[in-house]
Amino acid sequence: MNEFYEKFRDRTFFDNHPEAIANHLDKFYQSSEITVFHEMLMPDFHLDVYFINSSEDDFNILLTSGMSLLEMTVREGLENPELHKFAELMILLPKEIEFGKIFPSGNENDWIIGMLKETARFPHHYDTWLTIGHTLQATADMEPYSEKTDYVGLVILPSVTFDEEFTEIKINDEVINIYTIFPLYKNELEYKISNGYNALLDKLIEKDGKEVFDKQRENLLV
């Protein structure tokens, strides 16, 4: 706890960003369609997760709110770095996936929320950044996120369901990008590491991969 406190206590926090995210969602959804998994204990920074259940969509949404409290350490020499400093993450879910009233709750799907939160914290813990095409693994040994799944990592993708009106939150000269996370099996993650993002993207297109999460998705390399 002290280690995290020392690391983050002198960072600049953009405390207006969570409110901007809330206002942004109000443009698209009714308050009755949105619930929040509030974070109770936070060793570093406050990270909530929105659960959006709209009758007009055939999917639900989990969306982080808090990753953009801090700016990421973008790669030197990147063109227009100010457009990449802030991000939040989402995953689209089939309607049948449900959660408890709080997180964690012991629900078999808790690992999905945990995956989102761990990914959102990663760039700030390791002074790096996340953007489209980046991959992360659940553990150093590529073990699954949970005993409930075979997914061992993920890739950051642009949404194909939503356009920039939803995936870019503009605040003065700042932009909060909303990226989609797409969980990967071990061989898929290894394939991306060996062959690059475009090669993995080709496999996604070839298999007609869907943005909405599938617990038992067909392997892209089979």
Concatenating the DSSP letter of every residue in 203-220 gives HHHHTT--SB--TTPPPT
Q: Determine contact, residues 15/164, Cβ cutoff 8 Å.
A: no
Q: Has residue 6 got a pLDDT over 90?
A: no
Token duo for residue 161: 């369901």
Cβ–Cβ < 8 Å for 83, 68? no
Q: Is the preceding peptide bond at 94 cis, omega within 30 degrees of 0?
A: no
CA dist 142 → 11, 23, 53, 112, 128 (Å): 31, 38, 32, 16, 20
User: How far from each other are the two terminal CA atoms of the chain, in whole angstroms?
Assistant: 44
Tens of pLDDT, residues 37-47: 999 888 789 99
Q: How far apart are CA 51 and CA 117, in angstroms?
A: 13
Q: What pTM was estimated for this model as a whole?
A: 0.95
Q: What is the pLDDT of residue 1?
A: 47
Cα–Cα–Cα angle for 43, 46, 50, rounded to 5 degrees? 135
Going by pLDDT thresholds of 50, 70 and 90, the confidence category of residue 173 is confident
CA 116 to chain centre: 5
The reply to whether omega before 144 is within 30° of 0 (cis) is no
* pLDDT tens per residue across span 118-147: 999 999 999 999 999 999 999 999 999 999
What element of type H or E holds 91?
A: strand 86-94
Task: Report pLDDT for 4.
Answer: 59
Average pLDDT for 171-195: 96
- Please check the confidence at residue 24 and state whether its pLDDT lies above 90: yes
As a whole number, mean pLDDT of residues 188-217 equals 97
In 3D, which of 168, 170, 157, 165 has the Cα closest to residue 130? 157
Point out which residues pair with 52 in neighbouring strands: 34, 61
Greater confidence (76 vs 211) lies with 211
Please compute the mean of the pLDDT values over residues 24-40 and round it to a whole number.
Answer: 96
d(CA 52, CA 61): 5
**How much is the pLDDT for 3?**
60
At residue 54, does pLDDT exceed 90?
Answer: yes
* Tens-digit pLDDT profile for residues 69-91: 999 999 999 999 999 999 999 99
Q: Enumerate residues 6+ apart whose C-beta is below 8 A from 76.
A: none
